């Protein structure tokens, strides 16, 4: 059963990747940024960053603290002024000359909330709607719909400062979506939330994608990137060091998958030597045998044959595939070492 399931997963992933690529090629480019740079005195926080996001994609910017994620978002959304070489296109229109005109395309959930804490939930929405110049009826209709979608309707008359972190974040989403933007920019939207709120947010984000939104999200959370993003930009020290979909990223580092198992009873020296001949990097660790494999299906069959031929029983068998977290740590370490060591 195990083998069959595994093979099917690979086939599905390959097919999915090819169809995703074909599909993406047909879609318009929603965001195209070129040569973004931001300096803070001697520090280059964003160093010549360029990327594209296709319409309807969820793209995650993943990176350690201080990588430049928020600064990239702030350049993209006009909080920081662009340097001369930089360029931003939204649906093929150059926005660098008049960013404010195009800001209406963006719904932003910032790292620090911009809701007024002394206003009620409803007052915040009304105020925001007023800024966009929408008629009162339109704001109220849209606000109610959003409050229902985000499970906030019971809190509409609560003061914002009385809301829990999770509920405040739901309000931030409602505020970002009020003007029906086509692009959502989410700066660490699930950071510090409890697991139930995280799940609700991720489901809402996936629903928004289904509704056709293009979504750029920054996160530290590998699981988040792996489960909701179509593509991941890994950022370190102001630069994009990888731009791939989560499966391809993991596949690239598949060679590090680890097989760990126990053999009931004691192996003879002869049997141990045979095992070492088959798996040249095998080690004994706390009564377990462990080896890394670049073709786990083949190696599992070889191990199975070895156990049958030697009449041995294998117990507690595990294959640990490379997680996106391991890929991320590997890439960050490699990049940092090549630039003179990891930051303490
Ligand atoms: P985190 O995940 O911790 O939010 P980040 O990837 O979003 O990190 P940024 O906030 O973009 O990183 O910061 C990138 C670098 O720029 C950091 O070294 C940070 O200290 C520096 N930086 C950011 N904003 C400013 C500022 N206003 N003045 C001076 N330095 C800044």
7 φ/ψ angles, rounded to the nearest 5 degrees? -60, -45
What is the 66 CA–ligand 1 centroid distance (Å)? 5
pLDDT of the residue at 12: 40
Q: Which of 224, 235, 243 is nearest to 68 (CA)?
A: 235
What is the 65 CA–ligand 1 centroid distance (Å)? 8
Ligand 1: residues whose CB is within 6 Å? Answer: 40, 43, 45, 63, 65-71
Contacts of 241 (CB under 8 A, 6+ apart): 234, 235, 331, 332, 335
Take atom 30 of ligand 1 and give the residue whose Cα is closest. 40
> Mean pLDDT over residues 176-202, rounded?
91
Question: 61, 218 in Cβ contact below 8 A?
Answer: yes
Alpha helices in the chain (DSSP H): 2-26, 69-76, 99-102, 121-131, 136-149, 165-177, 195-210, 222-228, 246-252, 269-278, 296-309, 324-338
Burial pattern 304-326, b for ≥16 Cβ within 10 A else e, equals: eebbeeeebebeebebeebbbeb
What span, in angstroms and rounded, lies between the C-alpha atoms of 129 and 320? Answer: 50
pTM for the model stands at: 0.74
Q: Is the pLDDT at 122 greater than 50, yes or no?
A: yes
Least confident of 69-83, 136-150, 240-254: 240-254
pLDDT of the residue at 49: 96
What span, in angstroms and rounded, lies between the C-alpha atoms of 273 and 11? Answer: 35
Take atom 28 of ligand 1 and give the residue whose Cα is closest. 40
Ligand 1 atom, smallest distance to 220 CA: 2
Q: Which two tokens stand for residue 265?
A: 């009873």
What span, in angstroms and rounded, lies between the C-alpha atoms of 113 and 153? Answer: 19
Ligand 1 atom, smallest distance to 111 CA: 4
Which residue among 44, 62, 70, 234 has the greatest number of ligand 1 atoms within 8 angstroms of its CB, and so is best to mutate?
A: 70
What is the 141 CA–ligand 1 centroid distance (Å)? 38
pLDDT of the residue at 212: 92
Q: Which of 10, 6, 8 is nearest to 247 (CA)?
A: 10
Take atom 2 of ligand 1 and give the residue whose Cα is closest. 65
What is the 139 CA–ligand 1 centroid distance (Å)? 35
What is the 158 CA–ligand 1 centroid distance (Å)? 33
Which residue among 68, 75, 76 has the greatest number of ligand 1 atoms within 8 angstroms of its CB, and so is best to mutate?
A: 68
pLDDT digits (tens, 9 = 90+) for 125-157: 999 999 888 889 999 999 999 999 999 999 999
- Give the Cβ contact number of residue 212 at 10 Å: 9
Q: Is the pLDDT at 185 greater than 80, yes or no?
A: yes
Take atom 19 of ligand 1 and give the residue whose Cα is closest. 66
pLDDT of the residue at 71: 94
344 DSSP assignment = -
Question: 205, 46 in Cβ contact below 8 A?
Answer: no
What is the 314 CA–ligand 1 centroid distance (Å)? 51
What is the 178 CA–ligand 1 centroid distance (Å)? 28
pLDDT digits (tens, 9 = 90+) for 197-219: 888 899 999 999 999 999 999 98
- Using a 10 angstrom Cβ sphere, with 0-12 exposed, 13-18 middle and 19 or more buried, the burial of residue 173 is buried
pLDDT digits (tens, 9 = 90+) for 24-49: 557 889 999 999 999 999 999 999 99
What span, in angstroms and rounded, lies between the C-alpha atoms of 310 and 92? Answer: 66
């Amino acid at each position: 059963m195990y083998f069959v399931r595994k093979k099917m997963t690979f086939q599905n992933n390959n097919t999915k990747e090819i169809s995703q690529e074909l599909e993406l090629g047909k879609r318009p480019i929603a965001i195209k940024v070129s040569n973004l740079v931001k300096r803070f005195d001697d520090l280059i926080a964003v160093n010549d960053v360029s990327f594209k996001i296709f319409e309807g994609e969820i793209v995650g910017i993943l990176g350690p603290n201080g990588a430049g994620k928020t600064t990239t978002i702030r350049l993209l959304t006009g909080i920081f002024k662009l340097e001369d070489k930089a360029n931003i296109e939204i649906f093929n229109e150059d926005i660098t000359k008049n960013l404010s005109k195009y800001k209406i395309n963006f719904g932003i959930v910032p790292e620090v909330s911009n809701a007024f804490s002394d206003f009620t939930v409803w007052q915040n929405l009304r105020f925001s709607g007023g800024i966009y110049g929408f008629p009162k009826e339109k704001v109220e209709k849209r606000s109610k719909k959003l409050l229902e979608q985000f499970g906030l309707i019971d809190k509409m008359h609560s003061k914002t400062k009385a809301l829990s972190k999770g509920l405040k974040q739901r309000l931030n989403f409602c505020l970002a979506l009020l003007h029906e933007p086509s692009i959502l920019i989410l700066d660490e939207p699930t950071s510090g939330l409890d697991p139930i709120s995280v799940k609700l947010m991720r489901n809402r984000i996936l629903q928004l994608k289904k509704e056709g939104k293009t979504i750029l999200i920054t996160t530290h959370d590998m699981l988040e990137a792996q489960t909701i993003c179509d593509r991941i930009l890994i950022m370190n020290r102001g630069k994009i060091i990888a731009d791939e979909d989560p499966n391809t990223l993991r596949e690239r580092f598949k060679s590090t998958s680890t097989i760990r198992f126990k053999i009931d009873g004691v192996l003879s020296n002869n049997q141990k030597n045979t095992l070492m001949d088959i798996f040249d990097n095998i080690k004994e660790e706390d009564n377990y045998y462990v080896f890394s494999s670049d073709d786990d299906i083949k190696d599992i069959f070889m191990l199975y044959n070895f156990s049958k031929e030697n009449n041995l029983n294998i117990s507690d068998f595990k294959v640990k595939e490379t997680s996106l977290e391991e890929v991320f740590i590997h890439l960050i370490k490699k990049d940092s070492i090549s630039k003179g060591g990891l930051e303490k």
